[in-house]
Amino acid sequence: MADVFITSEKKQALEERMIRLGILEKDLIEKFVLGAGSGGQKLNKTSSCVFLQHLKSGLEIKCQRERSRELNRFVARRELCDRLEERILGQQSARQQANEKIRRQKRRRSRRQKERVLDDKKKHSVKKQSRRSGNFES
């Protein structure tokens, strides 16, 4: 995995992460397939899309995020690590926590919370109104 786009620090970090998760290169089946979708004729004619299969866990990754084959190989391995971590750690994984945070943020507020927020806004508005009318007259 040698490419000008990937720094040696990133490569080293990915290799350490793969070792920590028990992913060995011999347990991976890697195929290069033709790309598809938007991106033009060049993308559809070259085999830059990476199909990665981890034999022990049965996870399959197909990566066509970048135009470079080497960069797609790197990204596919990183995605494999993410999915395996998510499977192992479950609720504790960083991706799972981020998804949960977004879900909480999008959740609708209860009626009581809405009333409380509106009440606070009204109090703040009254406070600003009193400042505006009294302090600036000379």
Q: How many domains does the chain have?
A: 1
Note the pLDDT of residue 85.
Answer: 85
> Phi and psi for 29 in degrees, rounded to 5?
-105, 125
Per-10-residue mean pLDDT of the chain, 138 residues long, equals 75 92 92 80 81 92 89 94 84 80 88 92 93 64
Note the pLDDT of residue 47.
Answer: 85
Residue among 81, 84, 77, 42 nearest 62 (CA): 77
Residue among 101, 103, 98, 73 nearest 86 (CA): 98
- Identify whether 3 is part of a domain: no
Which residue range forms the structural domain that includes residue 45? 8-90
Phi-psi region of 137 (alpha: psi -120 to 50; beta: other; left: phi over 0): beta
Note the pLDDT of residue 35.
Answer: 78
- Identify whether 2 is part of a domain: no
Note the pLDDT of residue 93.
Answer: 75
